[in-house]
Amino acid sequence: MEVQDWIESSIRAFFCFTGIIGNFWLGIRSWPKTRSQLRPNDILFINLAVSNLITNCLVDLPDTMANFVKFAMGKSYCDMIQFSSDLSETSSIFSTMFISIYWHQKLVGSVRRGGAPVQMDNLRLVGILLGGSWTVSLVFSIPHFFIAENNRNESSEVCDERFPTPAYKRTFDGLYLILANAIPLVGVTYACAQIVLMLLQSQKRIKGHSKETKSGANPPPAFVDAGNFTSGTQAKTSNAVNNSSSSNQVRAAKSVVAVATIFLICWFTHLVLRIYSNFRNSNLAVKLTYFIGATYTCFVPYVYLHGVKKLNCSCW
């Protein structure tokens, strides 16, 4: 193995094992102590962790091992890689979109309605949305069992796909790019932009009212506690809660911006590469697509854990 291959394989191995640890930790820390403590954000975090672990364990790990220990890449291997990759990728994208919508409702919609419960506080609704997302993911993933193949030879580094007709390929790719990439990207962008705008406006109001408070004016109503992402929390008007809320809002804003930035950079680039690969076969584009997906699943769980203040070793 050449030096360049060793470097590439080592970086991929780092992302793989870091992603496994991070997503496993996100799932464990989001698991409630009792069933009565189960909240929509817990379900969404667990679902995201499971989605990412499919990529980490069934795509990145075998691919990393293949770089260090050469073995034959037959059709069964390509079937598993392509199916698991698209299933995990699609479910992860939808999970991120649902989490962004949930935050948007809690931080924007709830405030505008005076802290009233929002639609996604309903566990049944969240379950239906996640069930629908997994159904869509399966619909786009199952065809890979019939089109994935290794056309070149047993030592090929890239799994190819052969569609029945060019029209079938264009239809399949077009629907996938629109439903599982473009729409979620727009949804995440809009939701996160609204969240950040609301948090910045709240911080500005808090700073302005704190000056009035020092001069003897009444303190402003507290903003919803965004840092812990709690369900149905009512804002209180004490100074202590104001200060705590202000700190949590800044923390939440940083987490939202970080997640949105990573998501948009990774999946927009992923979308461009996927469109490019539809017009021109490129092993480099395929490798970059896998690499970008691994980067996203590696860093995002740690950002979420930091945002909900669970990036520690105390499980319960």
Q: What span, in angstroms and rounded, lies between the C-alpha atoms of 170 and 173?
A: 5
Helix, strand or coil for residue 161?
Answer: strand
Q: What span, in angstroms and rounded, lies between the C-alpha atoms of 18 and 21?
A: 5
Long-range Cβ contacts of 204-207 (<8 Å, 24+ apart): 206/242, 206/245, 206/246
What pLDDT is recorded for position 292? 76
Task: Indicate the domain borders of the chain.
Answer: 3-307
- Ranges of residues in the chain with a pLDDT under 50 are 151-156, 221-227, 229-238, 241, 316
Q: State both tokens at 117.
A: 């419960």
What pLDDT is recorded for position 127? 93
What pLDDT is recorded for position 233? 46
Select 3-307's CATH number: 3.40.718.10, 3.90.550.10, 1.20.1070.10, 3.40.50.920: 1.20.1070.10
Q: Label residue 296 exposed, middle or buried (CB < 10 Å: 0-12, 13-18, 19+).
A: buried
Helix, strand or coil for residue 311?
Answer: coil
What pLDDT is recorded for position 218? 55
What pLDDT is recorded for position 153? 43
What is the CA 262 to chain-centroid distance, rounded? 9
- Please choose, from the candidates 83, 69, 73, the residue with its C-alpha nearest in 3D space to the C-alpha of residue 13: 69
What is the pTM for the complete model shown? 0.79
Q: Are 101 and 191 in contact (CB under 8 A)?
A: yes
What pLDDT is recorded for position 250? 55
Q: What span, in angstroms and rounded, lies between the C-alpha atoms of 225 and 250?
A: 11
Mention every residue, 6+ apart, whose C-beta is less than 8 A from residue 106: 118, 120, 224, 226, 229, 231
What pLDDT is recorded for position 211? 67
Q: What span, in angstroms and rounded, lies between the C-alpha atoms of 96 and 192?
A: 11
Mention every residue, 6+ apart, whose C-beta is less than 8 A from residue 292: 266, 267, 269, 270, 273
| 116-149 tens-digit pLDDT | 677 888 889 999 999 999 999 999 988 877 765 5
